Structure 1
Amino acid sequence: MHLRRLDLVGFKSFAARTSAELQRGIVVIVGPNGSGKSNISDAVLWVLGEQSAKAVRARKPEEVIFAGSATRQPLGMAEVSLVLDNADGSLPIDYEEVRVTRRLYRSGDSEYLLNGSRVRLKDIIQLLLHAGLSPDSYTVVGQSSIDELILQRPDERRVAFENVADIRRHQLRLNDTRSKLTSTQANLVRVQDVLAELTPHVRRLKTQADRAQRAEAFRKELHDLLIRSFRWRLAHAHTERRQAEDESARATLEAQHAEAESTAGERDLRDVDERLATLEERFSELRPRAEAFLEQVRVAERSLAVLRERLASTTEQKSGAEAELLRHHGLLERLAEEATEAARAAGQTTDGDLPDDASRLAILQAHLADETAALDAAQAERASLQKNVETAEHGIREAEARLTRTEQHLQSLQANLAVDQARQSDRETRLASIEQELASRTTERADLDQSLARTRDRLAAAADAQHEAAARLEQAREALRVTSQQADRLQGALAALGATDLSRRDDAELPPDWQAALQDLPVLGLAGQLATRIRPIDLLLAGYLRRTVVLANDEAAREAHRRLTTRLAADAPAWAVLSMDGLLLAAEGARPLERVGDEGQSVLADWSRQVRRLEAELAAAEAQRHAALAEVQTARDSLDDAEADERGARRAFGEIEAHLIELQRAESAARAEVQELQAAHERAMRMASQHSEERLRATTRADRTREELAVARRERDALADQLRQLDEQVSAIGERVGQARAEMITVEATAGRREAERAAREALHARIEAEMASNAAAREATSARLANLRGQEAEITERESQLTRELDAMQAELTPVERELESAEARRVDLLAERQLTEQRLGVLRAAERAAHEVREARHVAAQRATDEVERLNTEIAETAEMEAETYGGAAWAEQLRLRFDGLAEPLEAFDLEAARRRIATLQRELRAVGGVAESVVEEYRELSERHAFLEHQSADLRVAMAELESAAAELETHMRERFGEAFAAIQAAFQECFSELFGGGEARLVLTEPDDLLRSGVDIVARPPGKKLQGLLSLSGGERALTIVSLLFGLLKINPTPFCVLDEVDAALDEANVQRFANLLAEFARQIQFIVVTHNRATMDKSDAIYGVSMDAAGVSHIFSVRPRSIAASAPAETVSAVGAVNAETNRAPKGVPSGEL
């Protein structure tokens, strides 16, 4: 491996790009003093990673960049590259040629490149250490390095020995390991601090997560019970509907059968009438024979027949009137039931739904109008920003044009001073453009002020709406809480009435022995004293309630019951303990509530009605709470949207404000620049010698214009970002407008449906009332007609009796006629009897027919009621699903209910509905008791617990890593100690050998200052030149010290040779004889190591394989040219020697601008 090429640009005096192709062996660099020879060795040291400016002969890092001269401008960057031949693989990288580059910018930024790729300095140092190359090794040795080695303390001198022992990279690894160990310890402390902070949070969240899991279990059980109860009720409703439909069908068949039988009876009656008519004809035949004698008999008989017919007709009319009266009575009962059912169905839909829907519709319409206005405003703002983007792009194009004009003006400044006037005109044009843009921005700022005011108004309106909705929610919650407490107290009081004896009625207050027993418990008083909170209690329950003590909670009630049971005598009056939560604990032996009587039954009924009323109020309050919650959420959403719009407007306002300030600054700068150009133009006209300075100022102005162009481009990008954000806001507002419109359509449809249902129910109720009034009037008319018929029947019966008596008298007188007509009369009587029986049977059949029709109508009504019950249950399921989904279950709850109940027709299993209802109420109370726990608590607990477990695992890993790092550090120290000891012994021998060769004898030794601590021991040097005694390095003469250090240098190279070594005038302090020995030793080592030597000694030049000359032109820029002395010496040795001497004797007489190349 060797150094193939060295490239420099902008480094110290090498302003132009300079390359030097280097070959193996000895390369000598010569040139006059001050030409820049040592800058080459500084460049090699700098590119190897040297961080000290002093080491490269500079006060600060930026001084290595070419600083310019009177005729050449300074550069903004220094770059040095080493091209290494890595064909032997000395560097662990898959390249045969490795290019290491270092750059430094005048801004202070620097970068390192490896084969054109940016890398870290650490990567460069670790890679080059594999070949023994580093800035603090003996790769680059100058005259100052020789002096430093002489003057170094023993502990500073050991660095060179560490490089030879190849433990520098191990030292870096050890330092890195110790740094990692320190960092690991700090990380462990931080992890433990975080764990200490997280542990209480994890415990707190675990408690909340347990509550959330309990609530989730309650919700699941509640959902399951609701589903099972609804399924059971719905299945039974379906069953009842099918049974009612079957019974209706059977009643229809029975009615049809009764109609058929009634028709047959009427046919039989017609047959009897026909036979009677025949018999009458027979009588007509007999009448002529006894007409005269039987005239009176016929008259009597006709009268009797007429009376009987009237009687039969009256009887029939009476039966019809009675049947009609019964029918009207049944119809009135059915209409009353329908009216009750309609009233109950109407009561299920509260009158407040329509006003709520109307209010909600108005709110949605207002919200839609607001969102539409916001959409229009956002679109207008988007159009404005689009115009701003176009304006900014136009400004960028103008700035680019100005930059082009400025650069052209800079190039032509030396040729034509008149260009200054054109530049002044361009600046004035730019000033006008800035003023125009400033006016545009001012207008835009005014528009943004108006938009911000509108957004603030929307924000205030949304905040007011949220406050109003929150107030309504608080009112609903308070009403729900009060109603729940009243319902619970009434339920507890009703339960207490069923378990306590009411026979004793004493009006005593809390007895002293009770006060002693309950003195430290939260006693609220006697139930009789607190009864006024529910309703005025009558004397029936006063005795019991005055022996019932009320406490604040269940736990206190149980403790009071235990104490009273222990302290009170067994024969004490009956007593009981009641908590405000409804827990009732009675004394042992208390009789249940018996023989309450009418007054007590009235009280119980009144309390039961109050309980039902409070339950209805509780449901209404719950519905109001849900509505208020929805309004609060809507108000919050509106408030969030308004706040987001305000933040966007504020952000845009701030950006426009900042841009205005920048434009004002740019305007001031442009005006100042115009004035400066005018003054510069006048100065240029007066003094042409200042042309160079004017060119520098033009360069500065071009840079500033470029910066302004970059700022304008960033402004354009920012405006484009604003435009994209506004596009997103417009899309979001459009989505919210669509949602508001869909919700408004839904609310309008719901309001219309409810209005139609209420109108239908009112029409049904009016029709039922009209029918009831009509039937009542008909029933009264029928009753009057029935009374009239009964009177007529009595009169006819009386008349019949009278005619019968007259007929008996006539029969006594007309016995012969009777005997004659006896046979005919007997037949006639039989027919009349048969007719009467037939009429009676027909009346029964007609009554059966009417009854069948009534049963059919009743079954049809029952079937319709069963159908209505199924529909009511479906409605109740939907409403319950919506309420439970909003309160507990999430958006999929209603869909789950619908899927579970579709197509259900039969009961699935035995089910205790009452027990399920009690359990549902218990679960709802449990959910209220658990309270609201955010759904994110479980997820937060899981994430936090995972983080806690992860940190604990990390803590354990960090402890393991610390142990591993400590073990690795110990292993590295042991290895470094062994390597340093072996290398020190080898260097000792090589140093002695090189010292003897350079001095022609003598003795030199290396001494460890701390032999027991090889990792910290310094290295001292003692030497004995020939003919002298052994003494320290500082005791030797200057030449002896230099030669001793050179001996040490060659000893180090012999033990651990580097691929190349740069020697900068290390032979300057040697005399001619010692220089010759130095050159001989250099040639011997050159078989293995590539040397780049800066020297003035001819003996060293004679050993070289290539010579490079360095010269400096009049502009202060160094150039390199090469000479190959061996090829020239073969043809003309004398001329070569003189040419080389001429190079050293040259004193800045090199031609101006000599390029690198071979002479």
Structure 2
Amino acid sequence: MRLKTLEISGFKSFADKTRIDFLPGMTGIVGPNGSGKSNISEAVRWVLGEQSAKSLRGSKMPDVIFAGSADRHPLNRAAVSITLDNSDHYLKSDYTELTISRLLYRSGDSEYQLNGQSCRLKDITELLMDSGMGQDSFSIISQGRVEAIFNSKPEDRRNIIEEVAGVYKYRKHKEKAQRELDDTMAYLHRVEDIIAELEGRVEPLEEQSNLAQDYLDQQQKFALLDRTQLVRQLHTEMAQKQTADTQVVAKQTQVAAHQAAAQEQAATVQALKQQQTELLAQKDALQEKLVTATQQVEHSQGQVNLSGEQQRHQDEQRQQLQAQLTMLSQQLTTNQTDLAAVQAESDQLATTMKDAQGAIRQLTAATDPQVVTDLRQQLEDQRTAYFDQKQQVANWRNQRQYRQQDQQRLQQQGQRVAQQLTQLQATAQSAQTAVTEIQAKATAHKAQLNEAEQALDAEAGQYQQHQKQYQALQHNWQAALEVYQRAQTKVANQQASSAEYGGFYQGVRAILKQRQHFRGLLGAVSELLDVPQRYTTAVEYALGGQLQQVVVDDETTAKAAVGYLRDHRAGRATFLPLSTVRGRQIDRQTLQLLHSMTGYLGVGSELLTINDQAQVILQYLLGTTIFAANLDTAVAISQRIHHRYRVVSLAGDVVSASGAITGGQSKQSHSSVLRQQQELQQLQASIATMQQQLTDQETKIKAQRAALQASEQRSQALQATINELQPQCRQLDDQLANAQTTLEQANRRVKAAELEIQQAHAGETDEQADQLAEQIVQGEAQITETEAAVKTLQAKIKQVTTAQAQQQSELTAKQTWLAGAKERQQQQRATVKQLQADIAAAQRDQATATAKLAELDRQQALTPADAQAQLAQAQADRQTIEQKLATTNEQLTTVNDDLAAAETANQRTSGLLQLANDELQQAQVSQTQLAALIDQQQNQLSEKYQLNLAAAEKDISDLPADDLAVQLKLLKRGLDEIGTVNLNAIDEYREVKERYDFLTQQRDDLLTAKAQLMTTMTELDGQVKTRFKASFDQIAAKFTATFRHMFGGGTAELVLTDPDDLLTTGIDIMAQPPGKKFQNMGLLSGGERALTAITLLFAILQVQPVPFCILDEVEAALDPANVTRFARYIHQFQDQTQFIVITHRKETMVQADILYGVTMQESGVSKMVAVDLDHEETRTEGK
């Protein structure tokens, strides 16, 4: 496993695409300060999943994208890829080569790729897990990490050991267990709270149950006597209604006779009025003709006087008009000549401007800056290709050198290994015999263990399935319980608000709170009404504030309540006494019409119900209110019944009897006392459903708990069997593992020796080196061609730039002339417009004068003789009209006398008809009231007892009327004294007791789960302690040995600050360099501290080797001698670890197998330089 290549593009200072090839051994990356060396290690950390911008020396993640320089624009994307050689399948993947890529865009979008396929960060993390190559592992060690070792507190330093020990997953498991424990404790507290609540409810519920039974007994007796009273009242009212029906028929006959007489007299009056109207119209017409004739006489007399003077005036006017026409003709000719000249000049100027615009367009196209831009882009592309070719040739040179070195090394190794191969083969054969013998012994034991383990696995699967189902049921029960508790709380709040009459007006609330002091007070209208959900909105808007009116038995109670409000200044309220309020209803003919209309739902008093005693209040409030489906049908119904009654839609739109329409919707939700009462009822109903659901879930949980316990017992029995077999199998496995380890080591050595021999033979002839030599020659030829293309493009850019400057000067001159021409063209257009206006005005004046002249020719003055004839005719016409007017006046006087007599007779008959109608209306009101009273009481029978009259008559009491009234009064008083009772107390008591028992069992289960989680956490802590202690001991031993080697003597130790608490103990580093005393690391010099920290990192790499390690200037603080010792020590790890060392120390560079240099030839842009160690040539590589 090794790092093969790193590709960087747009990451920090690496603006251009850069590729670095890494070979086995030690690779050095060098360069001056600020050249971007450390950006390479940060690129590797970033591509491996680093999420902290601060650790990458930035404030936010887009800061890693190239931000631009003095000569370059910022880039929009950063991309880094690393390629890993996984031919030994060190990483758990089927691929022998893995490429991990990460891309970030300035917009914030990012992408991860694995072998070119998009993937998640989680996929990368899982691939690298436990491989030692994560972004926080020891694969990347910076100078800051070295400083953190000797600057951090002992408690923080333990994280280094924990990372090696691999206790992260155990800590995660413990955190998960802690979260589960917290959830369990939360559930436990909740269940205990509910149990405490239920314990306080059991006793009161038992008392309520007994009280409810007493209430039901008295209510049954009261219902029998109440039905009896209703039946007797119905019989009396039906007899009274028959009498009222007879009276109505007699009154209707009398009204019909008076109506016939009145209609005959009305016809006579109408005929006389028609004749009177005609005569008045005739009189008005004659009077108008008389006025006209008089005016004509006066006009004719004036014509006689003026006929001579008019002739002279017309002659003078004709001469003036002819002179005006001559002048206008001359002016029109002059304007037309000027207009033709100006238009010709304008046409010539437009042609010249068009030619100039064409020339400007050609010059604009010729000076297009895009031409130069395209040429410069081609030049940049050629430069890029030049650098790519240079880098490729340098890579080929390095590869050829490596191939030659490998050939020499392999030949020497082949000769040495061939001598060892025979001895290694004999050792492998002996190890194979031992493995075969142990495997035969272990097979019999494992067969029995496998059978038991398979049975246990199957049972474990069943147990997990039962446990998941149990947890799911328990979770659902907890969720349902929370919903139930919230609903109970909401009901309690609303009940409390209802008890305080929240939502009622101040005065109404004050009276309702004192209702026990007013025996005749039945309650507010909203309390007495029973409104189906469908009609809630309609009723709210139809009644509005009437919902808060208070119903009382009579005026006395109303006056007492008003007095209370006045005395206590408690507000105002409206009272509806049953003794005085009268119901209202729609006439039968209108009802028949309504039933035939689409969208009609019914009358409000029929759709709703109310307390039996307050039935008349419902008739009063909604007896004439019609309910419709929507506003359109409401308007249609109102128009059909001629706006006689109020109509309300289901959405609350109101069409009043006056025709006014009220509707709309406010922004705030509307919540009346009626809606609050309905919400409370709905909540109470839903609570009952929730209680049943909780009971069902508790039953399922009990059954699942029993299945879980049975599965656990079976698992325990199988586990006991396995515990007996496992020690025997482990002993045989240990023996087999030791034997196999010996065999594998022997086989690996044999294969390694054979492979080295094969490589030595294969290296004798290497065709690839020859191919690389040919590629180098071809690459250098391509570089020469690219350099020539760059020079050609530079010359062409200079030529195009010079030509465009000349064309730009000519373009400016053309544009200046064109601007002046446009201004002259606008002036000419203004002149043409003014001349055209003058010509039009002259033509209009000419037409007007011609028309006036023609009119004078048509008109001729009257002669004096004609004027005298007209006067005589007008006087004769006026006399005829005066005679006709006198005749019409005489006829009109006669008709007026006849009309007065007819109207007097009609008024007498109308008085008799009105009297008869009043008597009929009184009889009909009595009839309607009795019918409504009968319907009301029949409805009471139906609603209260679900009986009709015939059925009610079969089950009534035979008590006399007086005794019946007394018994009803006594029973009513007894029920009132009992007050409100909980009729569901018996069932509720049983349900509460069952829930109490169930929750007690739940509490016991939660306590058991708590104990199990505590045990799990203790076991995890034990695992952390064991692994931490084992890793600490290994690293401490390696640290002591490595310290002596790195310092050339002395000693050092890792010391636990609290050995008794391995979960939190810190780690101190004690060191004694040669010639100094044994002391804490913090007391050493800066260089000694740095070397000690590096020593600790080397000790960790010995305990937990990694495939590759990037060291970023970790030796910066060391003196030259220690740097040399540090660099040489790295070679001891080269067989197991590939090192990439970022440094600026010469002592480290000398030990590197290959060097890469980082330079900034262009300000702010880093480039790579490959150093050929054999020829000491430095070549700049391309992007």
TM-score (norm 1): 0.37
Which entry has the higher C-alpha Rg, 1 or 2?
A: 1
TM-score normalized by the length of structure 2: 0.36
